[in-house]
Amino acid sequence: MFDLFSDILFRLPVETHFTYKIPEDLKNTIKPGMRVKVNFNGKEEEGMAVRIHSVVPDFKTKEILKQIDPKPIVNEYQIRMAYWMSERYLAGPGECIFKMFPPGKRITKNQPEVPSETDLPRFHLNDEQKAVYDSVIEKIQNKHSTECRLVHGITGSGKTEVYIHLIHEVLKMNRQALLLVPEISLTIQLIQRLQEVFKNNLALMHSGMKGADRFRSYHSVLSGEKKIVVGTRSAVFAPLTDPGIIVIDEEHDSSFREHSSPRYDARTVARKIAADHHSILLLGSATPRIETYFNAVKEKNTIFYSRLKTRATGADLPEVEIIKIEDFNSPISGDALQKINQNIKNKEQSIILLNRRGYSPFQYCRKCESSLSCPSCSVGLNYHKNGKLICHYCGYTRPNTGVCDKCGSKTEMAGSGTQKVEDYLLSLYPEIRLERLDTDAALDSSSVGECIERLLGGEIDLLLGTQMIAKGLDAPNVTLVGVLQADYGLNLPDFRAQERTFSLLTQVAGRSGRGEKKGKVFFEALNPENSVLIHAANQDYSAFYNEEIRYRYDAWYPPFCKIVRILFRSEDEESAKLESEKFSNQINERMVRQSENEKVHTMILGPAPAPIARMHNKFRFHVLIKTVRPETLHGLLKETVSEFKKSMGKTVYMEIEFDAMDLL
């Protein structure tokens, strides 16, 4: 008998696989896509078999110790996708393959559900929705066609119903569908609507599920039992074999970017999957990313464009008023309180957003003229009602002594967080049914869902929270939305700060007046004349885009270039700085050898301390590279990174982020 071998991938940042011999008793059972146990570096480790072959290696091989899965848990396409991601994001293929499926569970025999007949949606499409539907359906029916289309619809325009009608057609063709959303717990109504139409054809996939439930849902798709996947970022890797449509709802949302290796963007991965399967990719948003909109409306567009300009119910967009903050330490202004008071009298619901959790964001010492800061991060400590000072980045916690660390003088609280606003409102309106929804109040996704259910059921008069309440809510009796410190996000040292602020304000304003009653909105701001606030108040995306795109052009930011960020972090500041300088020198040396044409189209900035110079007790330095030749830069980076890692100090960690989403 001839020997068989298996190429194994591990969850490690290495560029290659490792070959193991398959023992006699497993020769007929191990297949690509199964997990196995092997001895690796003297330890028993879990790996993924990706290839079975009879090519004898020119080195002594160890034997596979154990087969974990009775059947493959990833399919052939997922294995190919892992290698594509490895190349695209300069990550280990093993890191990529282990992103494809829920961790830790084995396939067990379950009684398969019999998929129900789907009900034709009970909502008829209006003329605008029908125009979008008609523009897409012909491409769906042509199985050899692919297209990426932006569905740019104002808040409440009925994008969901368009998705549902298109998915319904895809199922009739016996193909599959994928719908990605930013946050499952905030999309209760969307899930309920999908379940109403598609019954048990729906497979939910998100990190809030229990491990066994998540794996069971994954397996229902792998086995072909269910044909519609709804989930968050990682659901893009669902084991679909013939997706006819991929929908990314709220495509502007930053949660579609992964922040651990491989640092993939689900939107980019979805576009690759759609192209490979001749699928339609729909990107839906009221506030699309600048890059997405630019590529949809430019002369040689790479994304098709559809517009929904009116609300599906016929309701008008709410009126928005901008209120100047006169007293920074006052939780909320008198004008805003009058509006809240009137809404309470009208027995209508209100939503108040403050994108700062905790009680007070600053503990200030007048003598030192400084705030108390985290010992592990270069950010301030936030005071919470439990008497603790907490770092919102690393979680460092300590009691609040009320005195300065440096001089022992008494400290003062400055600014307001959601806890302080909650106390203030309840002191004024003790009978009000108020609930706070932020990451401190929400213990898990189920508690978030229960809070949203109470709002929709009319059991909450006022919902107060952070940005997590800005999207996905369709409560007809919400007629007042307020945003406190609306211009706070504009002060962040990030070129996307204006875009994120406009998007947040526009999205949350869209929660008001979605039923029969007219909606009202107010923004409280230190600078009410800021153009971003004015455009958001007018719900005028075009005006904001036209202003922002000129700034991006002048400063040479995306969409006029691509940005790659290489971040170095270490507990030793000098080591992080030294390695970042060495890397910058190496990439500059390689760039010098390029043609003059290539040099003109690439700019290397840094190294420099990151805006948040220390986080989780790690000092951070970054190098930014801007280019209009991403393919050329990718090749240079691949060569440089591979060589550089061999000599990089062991105490330093390097992160590479292509199409960097934030620069903090």
Confidence of residue 120 (pLDDT cuts 50, 70, 90): low
DSSP structural state of residue 315: P
Determine the Cα–Cα distance for residues 463 and 446; give it in Å rounded to an integer.
Answer: 17
- The stretch 232-261 carries a mean pLDDT of 95
Strands 66-67 and 35-40: antiparallel
Query: What's the whole-model pTM score?
Result: 0.93
Give residues with Cβ within 8 angstroms of 625, minimum separation 6: 563, 564, 565, 566, 587, 602, 603, 604, 605, 633, 637
- Rounded to the nearest integer, the mean pLDDT of the chain is 90
Nearest to 659 by CA among 299, 267, 317: 267
pLDDT in tens, 638-660: 989 988 988 888 899 999 999 99
- The stretch 471-490 carries a mean pLDDT of 90
Q: Is 606 helix (H, G, I), strand (E, B) or coil?
A: strand
- The stretch 159-166 carries a mean pLDDT of 94
Instruction: Match 């393959």 to its residue by tokens.
Output: 97
pLDDT in tens, 42-61: 899 999 999 999 998 888 89
Q: Which region among 31-35, 162-166, 641-645 has the lowest average model confidence (pLDDT)?
A: 641-645
Which H or E run includes 585? helix 573-592
Determine the Cα–Cα distance for residues 471 and 252; give it in Å rounded to an integer.
Answer: 12
Listing DSSP states for 18-81 in one string gives EEEEPPGGGTTT--TT-EEEEEETTEEEEEEEEEEE-PPPSS--PBP-EE--SS-SS-HHHHHH
Highest mean pLDDT among 116-125, 199-208, 560-569: 560-569
Confidence of residue 167 (pLDDT cuts 50, 70, 90): very high
Per-residue pLDDT at 1: 59
pLDDT in tens, 412-429: 888 899 999 999 999 999
Confidence of residue 535 (pLDDT cuts 50, 70, 90): very high
Nearest to 310 by CA among 441, 125, 459: 125
Let me know if 368 is exposed, middle or buried by CB neighbors in 10 A (0-12, 13-18, 19+).
middle
Per-residue pLDDT at 178: 97
Model confidence at 114: pLDDT above 60: no
Question: Within a 10 A sphere around the Cβ of 63, how many other Cβ atoms?
Answer: 12
Q: How many angstroms from the chain centroid is the CA of residue 97?
A: 20
Which H or E run includes 631? helix 630-647
